[in-house]
Structure 1
């Protein structure tokens, strides 16, 4: 099968997108053949402000219903594929929106939030992010993990500290994920994961989505799609073909104020890091260029079956297990 035909036939899932939501972006997602994506609707926002973001996303999906559908179950992802649309999985990159209320986990699940990252870079009530001294998973955090397991929300550990991550992996009764990360073995960075961490999550039934965010890639902003595929191959050789997928971390059309918000604790306090110029790898600069990734994986030597799994089928299997439907 030709790469373009394989891509069109495959279920393509992006495990993390935090682009600027708009009709223009949705059209590019359609061009890229994206079946579904985990779309971030909360970083540092509290309950009320996250609700406002969910309302806005609901309105966008409704207004652009010729292109988008809202995802509650894996059947919705299959329906998106059948109808030639892109499914929106709403996700958080922090548990801030839960505040100190365990019952909010169910409320947001009912609204369509199926993936939630435990911490975003720093300390919260649940545990510790990757940019400060790691105190591990709190007892309240254990209750949140149990509730996420109960209602069917995937625990994401991408920006979470090493100790907190390990304790979530051990605490959770369901598989957990690094939805978007890269290996320390190719570039040392606080956001990248060691070979041991990658193996640990896979050995416990967990999942790794590979990001193409260039500040974390070996060659930075000079990175190409081949560099990204090298990172996929590196992680594949550690976690195996069933526990790996794509989590681009595309920030398409976002402006500098967005990155300032992300790189300060709580969105406004101390600076945590500087990304510098943000540009995606040459060959996959935009979501619309997603078909190039299928071709690059085939060129690297992955089989058609392996490419289908990496591009989306593995995500589908994981989400069905965690969501239960």
Structure 2
């Protein structure tokens, strides 16, 4: 059997999970997920939106789930992920990149959990009622934030720290009784950027039972828009060497289908206020241009000399294990 065939078969037979996608949700995107063999994905439905606007986003996504139920299905438990695999569909985990939608109401957390929200990032780049993002002076986790972490633990919503400041992240890691994650990050050791995590930060989250999803967002990769899938594999390998092969997964941060207005919205505080950063041109790594290219990653990890068992863990198996720990089912 050729190496290409072996990779294709391994990809087909594995659980493939993307721990963060913030794409333009439509049928073309779901068709590309099918082409990429995605078993499940954490799909962002809230960034700057408040409670009402986030509810509206979920209403829209529920309609998409109904209209495209030949391609996608909702995920509330890890059993739903396994069912998606059996059905040949992509399981949709709803996720937040900011807990702004919880507003100042702890009771909203359980409401969103019942609507299918399984992962929520504690802050998106700036300050909110819970803590601080990575683009400003970090005041740490607030008293209310500690209540939010406890309630997220209770109802089974995973705490995500990808865009969160280092002090707030450290305090969430220590406060949480369940594993927390960086759903989509890259190592500071390969590229100096405020969104990337130091070796010490990566080791700290893993030492406390946490999880690291590795992104391929070009501005944070060593070679920027000139990056290739090999650069992405290098970053995954770098993190695995720090935290171990059981604590790492994929979280691409695919922004597929979005226009420049979207990037203006996410790079300004609250979507409209001060500018936080400029990404410049965004070109995904060569070999991973679209979600449909996901099989290339399985091939690239095998080409890197990884055994099939290790590839299966990183491509999705580890995500299933940590989500089961957090969700309880």
TM-score, normalised with respect to structure 2: 0.98
Q: Distance in 2 between matches of 1:111 and 1:190?
A: 33
Match of 1:149 in 2: 153
1:230 has 2:234 as partner: yes
1:111 has 2:115 as partner: yes
1:291 has 2:292 as partner: no
C-alpha distance after superposition, 1:266-293 (max 9, x if no partner): 0000000000111100001000000000
Q: Distance in 2 between matches of 1:238 and 1:62?
A: 42
In the alignment, which of 35, 39, 47 is matched to residue 43 of structure 1?
47
Q: Distance in 2 between matches of 1:96 and 1:88?
A: 21
In the alignment, which of 140, 143, 152 is matched to residue 139 of structure 1?
143
1:10 Cα offset (Å):
0.3
1:177 has 2:219 as partner: no
Q: How does 1:197-212 map to 2 (within 5 A)?
A: 197-212=201-216
SS of 1:69's partner is strand
Match of 2:68 in 1: 64
Match of 1:4 in 2: 8
In the alignment, which of 187, 194, 198 is matched to residue 194 of structure 1?
198
Q: Which runs of 4+ in 1 moved over 6 A?
A: none
Kindly report the root-mean-square deviation, in angstroms, between the aligned alpha carbons of the 2 structures.
0.5
1:83 has 2:81 as partner: no
Match of 1:14 in 2: 18
SS of 1:280's partner is coil
Q: Distance in 1 between matches of 2:149 and 2:305?
A: 38
1:249 has 2:250 as partner: no
1:301 Cα offset (Å):
1.1
1:164 has 2:148 as partner: no
C-alpha distance after superposition, 1:74-127 (max 9, x if no partner): 000000000000000000000010000000000000000000000000000000
Q: Distance in 2 between matches of 1:193 and 1:301?
A: 25
1:302 Cα offset (Å):
1.0
Unaligned residue ranges in structure 2 (runs of 5+) = none
Match of 1:93 in 2: 97
1:45 Cα offset (Å):
0.1
Q: Distance in 1 between matches of 2:105 and 2:309?
A: 43
In the alignment, which of 314, 320, 324 is matched to residue 316 of structure 1?
320
SS of 2:128's partner is coil
Q: How does 1:17-36 map to 2 (within 5 A)?
A: 17-36=21-40
1:179 Cα offset (Å):
0.1
SS of 1:2's partner is helix
Q: Distance in 2 between matches of 1:187 and 1:88?
A: 31
SS of 2:146's partner is helix
